[in-house]
Amino acid sequence: MTPFGSAVRFVLFVNGLLLLVLATAMVVPMLVDLGMANADWWAFAGSAGVCSFIGAALALSCRGLSDRLNARAGYLLTVSAWVLVSLFGSLPLYFSSLGLTFTDAYFETMSALTTTGSTVLSGLDDMAPGLLLWRSLMQWIGGVGIVVMAMMLLPMLRVGGMQLFRTESSDISGKPVARVVHMAALTVMVYVGLSVLCAIGYDLAGMGSFDAINHAMATIATGGYSTKDASMGYFNSVPIEIVGIVFMAAGALPLIFYAHLFTKGSRAFFQERQVVVFLGVLTGAVLLMTAWNVDANHMPLWHALRVSAFNVTSVLTDTGFATTDFGAWGSFATGLFFMLMIIGGCAGSTAGGIKIFRWQILWGGLVRQLRQMVRPNQILLTRYAGHAVDDQTILGVRNFFFIYMMTLLVLSVAVMATGPDFLSAITLVAQGMANAGPGLGTLGGPSGNFEALSDPTKWVLIGAMLLGRLELMTVYVLFIAEYWRD
């Protein structure tokens, strides 16, 4: 078998295992609906059976392969996993009593697994508990999958400057599976721990246990699916909002950072520069939005601080929860939220967007170039977290910015061709690529959902969600002829 053939078989093997995990996860909402005497339990049972059969067939037919992963297989694995798992994950929604079309079921599932949080569903307050739990569970599964990919695959694949995070624990090229499993296990332990703490926090703050579990999974995954049509605004509770702010921010920090914090103490905080910058941006944006709401929207200071803190945190972390229609706060708020949406959280977190570290690298490269113009004979370095950044990494980040903006523009034009106005189109695509949830225009804003969009628009946004979640280059490399040649 050719090397590329072996890579494809390895990808099929892993996808088979992922489908088996997905089938196991479907049992949980099935039991919930069965216990509540809800007829949708059979949709989960049948879907789990299909996933189990196909997953087992793939895993068994491709087992016994090498325990090493190369870059070529990594690209295909990353893309195929999200496409395939989204396809099979949509089956319970498609076969349920909701009566969704395949487009809507796939849109909802892709939004969940990419932790975007855009939804085509309404009537959540009265929806069957199993379906609500499935949406939250898919976001939670997608969130941990994203972190594992970001910390172990993307550094090896050198995607958009992610090689900065290539360490002994993340460099899995030619290394035994045991080391990868150890790193993944540590990440999952932190992720589960944060989820449990968040659920306890919501429960103590006054949410019911079922709502607390669902919102905790969506919060740590920075996904934003709620069990209520009014999102977090339904609860109208300061303690609940404080818990949400704390854990949305926690989900936007690198999960491995918590392990370092436990072993190194406060030194880990100052060594992780993107964490310091992220928290600085968050604080500054909250204060700025509070001042705007006091001055322009004539809100009392306490109320302005409350709504600004929660909704700014939700937008910057690309979570997608909302307590009010912040789209009505005026043009300045819309512009600031658009910027925050694209900035995003930290690398190695569940948050979307361009990521803080890339802005740091781009800024450092710009400053170096300006200084070089003044002193052309002086050797200057760009530094990140105390280490010199090579020109290849800076070039990778610049290329990422270029392809990100070009993709945003091209997909926005594609959406406009299906009917929406310019502001709605560009914010719909921006929220999709940033995996942020609600848009900022008249369609898909914080006070509505995506149900009214046409099928062509939804498929463009499905592509935007996938591209943004997988860091663009990982997808685009599959479209060059050289990739498919041995």
453 phi, psi to nearest 5 deg: -70, 150
- Taking the C-alpha atoms of residue 146 and residue 131, their distance in angstroms, rounded to an integer, is 23
Residue 315: which region, alpha, beta or left (left: phi > 0; alpha: psi -120 to 50)?
alpha
**What tokens were used for 406?**
């070009």
User: Residue 231, SS3?
Assistant: helix
d(CA 316, CA 312): 6
Q: d(Cα 143, Cα 350) in Å, to the nearest integer?
A: 5
Name residues whose C-beta falls within 8 Å of residue 434's C-beta, 6 or more positions apart in sequence. Answer: 318, 341, 342, 344, 352, 353, 354, 468
**Which residues are known binding-site members for K(+)?**
115-116, 223, 319, 435
- Whose tokens are 């990808």? That residue is 11
Distance CA 351, CA 253 (A): 8
* Binding site residue list: 115-116, 223, 319, 435
Give the contacts of 46 (CB within 8 A, at least 6 positions apart). 91, 95
Token representation of residue 379: 């050797």
Contact 447, 96 (CB under 8 A): no
**Residue 57: how many CA atoms within 13 Å on its side-chain side?**
6
Please report the DSSP string for 331-370 in residue order.
HHHHHHHHHHHHH---TTSS--SS-HHHHHHHHHHHHHHH
- DSSP 3-state of 3: helix
Spatial distance between the Cα atoms of 413 and 429, rounded to a whole number of angstroms: 10
Between CA 321 and CA 341 the distance in angstroms is: 13
